[in-house]
């Protein structure tokens, strides 16, 4: 297993993997080459994190996990309570205040073939690792994105609202961004409307209106996206879900992306074109602070709910 320096509570493992209830270090974490997640991307997953040991919005991530499973006709063998127990068990051993948590459920192992019935039992993998704070420059100077030539998968082909292990569409778009030295890529749908980034939702601000593409454009219903919509409405800020094109995005006053692990990151250039004044805008900064305040309130509440909270233990 991987370790960092010894502290007051012993050696802290910086990455642990729970496979079907057995916790190992990354060098011992293995699944069969006949697992359908490996062979066909026949799996679903969710990613969240902990703030000060508190799991963030786990129930919302479970809601989406079960929706993805239903869309793929994939039976989840664990209950929510059982999955929560396994996540908590892994995080307790990891013992990191800020941790990345990835929950993967595959259809399981079986003979090679497309028939889903060839697998009968899920593999459940939980990856927990220490999560460093995001770089300050993301928020202070903003990031540059591109509009990818790769189009987002249409809903009629592989619905982007399903958070599955089939991520090749996103991988190709991200590779295009990296080749151009960009932070990430934004994908259009076949009608020419903005959908999302490779692992994040996209927003624009025009004349103080906060706009994000509708789910019907073909995108993942982000947990942070929905949270921000709700928070903006509570603050009586004008927020809407509607289609917009690349040209409309270029002419935005501000732009930003959202994701669970990145929160709100300002976008200051797209395809080399400056967005607004090419610096993080005031409303983007305001929204991020509103979101961070919400996070702190959730953490405060979470510490009063032992079932969803991971506390360090001197006795382990």
Number of domains forming the structure of the chain: 2
Give the end of a domain, one of 132, 158, 178: 132
Residue 17 lies in a domain: yes
Whether the pLDDT of residue 84 is over 60: the answer is yes
Residue 307 lies in a domain: no
Whether the pLDDT of residue 274 is over 50: the answer is yes
Q: How many CB atoms lie within 10 A of CB 73?
A: 8
Same domain, 145 and 270: yes
Whether the pLDDT of residue 304 is over 90: the answer is no
Give me the residue label for tokens 């493992």: 13
SS (HEC) of 98-119: CEEEEEEEECCECCCCCCHHHC
Mean of the per-residue pLDDT values of the chain: 92
Residue 309 lies in a domain: no
pLDDT tens across 227-242, in order? 999 999 999 999 999 9
- 58: domain CATH number is 3.30.470.10
Report the percentage of the chain scoring pLDDT > 90: 91
Q: How far is CA 252 from the centre of its chain?
A: 25
Please state, in angstroms and rounded to a whole number, the distance separating the CA atoms of residues 85 and 91.
10
pTM over the 0.85 mark: yes
Same domain, 66 and 85: yes
Same domain, 124 and 87: yes
Give the end of a domain, one of 86, 107, 132: 132
Same domain, 76 and 27: yes
Same domain, 50 and 103: yes
Same domain, 100 and 158: no
Residue 270 lies in a domain: yes
φ and ψ of 16, to 5 deg = -135, 145
78: buried, middle or exposed (CB in 10 Å: 19+, 13-18, 0-12)?
middle
Angle, vertex CA 69, rays to CA 310 and CA 195, nearest 5: 90
Instruction: Write out the catalytic residue numbers.
Output: 163
Same domain, 67 and 189: no
**Mean pLDDT, residues 295-305:** 85
pLDDT band, very low/low/confident/very high, at 5 (cuts 50, 70, 90): very low
pLDDT value of position 303: 73
pLDDT value of position 305: 61
- 167: domain CATH number is 3.20.10.10
Residue 203 lies in a domain: yes
pLDDT tens across 169-203, in order? 999 999 999 999 999 999 999 999 999 999 999 99
**Mean pLDDT, residues 94-100:** 96
Give me the residue label for tokens 């809407």: 240
CA-to-CA separations, 310 to 12, 14, 98, 124, 269, in angstroms, rounded: 15, 16, 11, 20, 39
Residue 152 lies in a domain: yes
Same domain, 56 and 198: no
**Mean pLDDT, residues 52-80:** 97
Same domain, 272 and 157: yes
**Mean pLDDT, residues 121-138:** 97
Please state, in angstroms and rounded to a whole number, the distance separating the CA atoms of residues 269 and 309.
39
Whether the pLDDT of residue 315 is over 70: the answer is no
φ and ψ of 285, to 5 deg = -65, -40
Nearest residue to 123 (alpha-carbon basis) of 36, 15, 65, 63: 36
Which run of H or of E encompasses 259? strand 254-259
Give me the residue label for tokens 């996103």: 170
Q: Residue 71 has which token pair? A: 């869309």
Give the end of a domain, one of 132, 162, 179: 132
pLDDT value of position 13: 54
Structural domain that includes position 55: 3-132
Residue 313 lies in a domain: no
Half-sphere exposure of 298 (CA within 13 A, CB side): 20
Q: How many CB atoms lie within 10 A of CB 194?
A: 25
Same domain, 99 and 152: no
Please state, in angstroms and rounded to a whole number, the distance separating the CA atoms of residues 56 and 265.
19
Residue 14 lies in a domain: yes
Nearest residue to 294 (alpha-carbon basis) of 135, 56, 46: 56
Same domain, 156 and 289: yes
pLDDT value of position 302: 81
pLDDT value of position 193: 98
Same domain, 293 and 158: yes
Pairing of strands 3-7, 10-13: antiparallel
**Mean pLDDT, residues 30-35:** 96
3-state DSSP helix/strand/coil percent for the chain, to nearest 5?
A: 30, 30, 40
pLDDT tens across 130-175, in order? 999 999 999 999 999 999 999 999 999 999 999 999 999 999 999 9
Nearest residue to 289 (alpha-carbon basis) of 207, 232, 226: 232
């Amino acid at each position: 297993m991987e370790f960092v320096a010894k502290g007051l509570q012993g050696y802290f493992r910086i990455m642990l993997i729970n496979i079907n209830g057995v916790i190992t270090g990354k060098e011992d974490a293995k699944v069969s080459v006949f697992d359908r997640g490996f062979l066909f991307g026949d799996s679903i997953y969710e990613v969240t994190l902990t703030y000060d040991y508190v799991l963030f919005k786990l129930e919302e991530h479970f809601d989406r996990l079960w929706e993805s499973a239903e869309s793929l006709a994939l039976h989840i063998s664990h209950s929510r309570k059982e999955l929560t127990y396994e996540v908590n068990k892994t995080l307790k051993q990891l013992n990191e205040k800020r941790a990345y948590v990835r929950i993967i459920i595959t259809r399981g192992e079986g003979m090679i073939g497309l028939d889903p019935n060839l697998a009968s039992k899920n593999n459940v993998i939980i990856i927990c690792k220490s999560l460093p704070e995001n770089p300050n420059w993301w928020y202070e100077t903003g990031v540059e994105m591109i509009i990818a030539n790769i189009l987002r998968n249409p809903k009629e082909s592989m619905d982007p609202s399903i958070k599955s292990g089939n991520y090749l569409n996103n991988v190709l778009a991200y590779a295009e961004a990296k080749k151009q030295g960009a932070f990430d890529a934004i994908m259009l749908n076949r009608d020419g409307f903005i959908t999302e980034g490779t692992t994040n939702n996209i927003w624009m601000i025009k004349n103080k209106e906060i706009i994000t593409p509708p789910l019907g454009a073909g995108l993942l219903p982000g947990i942070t996206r929905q949270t921000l919509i709700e928070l903006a409405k509570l603050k009586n800020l004008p927020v809407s879900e509607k289609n917009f094109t690349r040209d409309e995005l270029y002419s935005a006053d501000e732009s930003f992306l959202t994701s669970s692990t990145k929160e709100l990151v300002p976008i200051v250039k797209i395809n080399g074109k400056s967005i607004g004044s090419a610096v993080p805008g005031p409303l983007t900064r305001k929204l991020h602070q509103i979101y961070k305040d919400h996070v702190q309130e959730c953490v405060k509440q979470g510490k009063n709910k032992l079932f969803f909270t991971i506390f360090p233990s001197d006795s382990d």
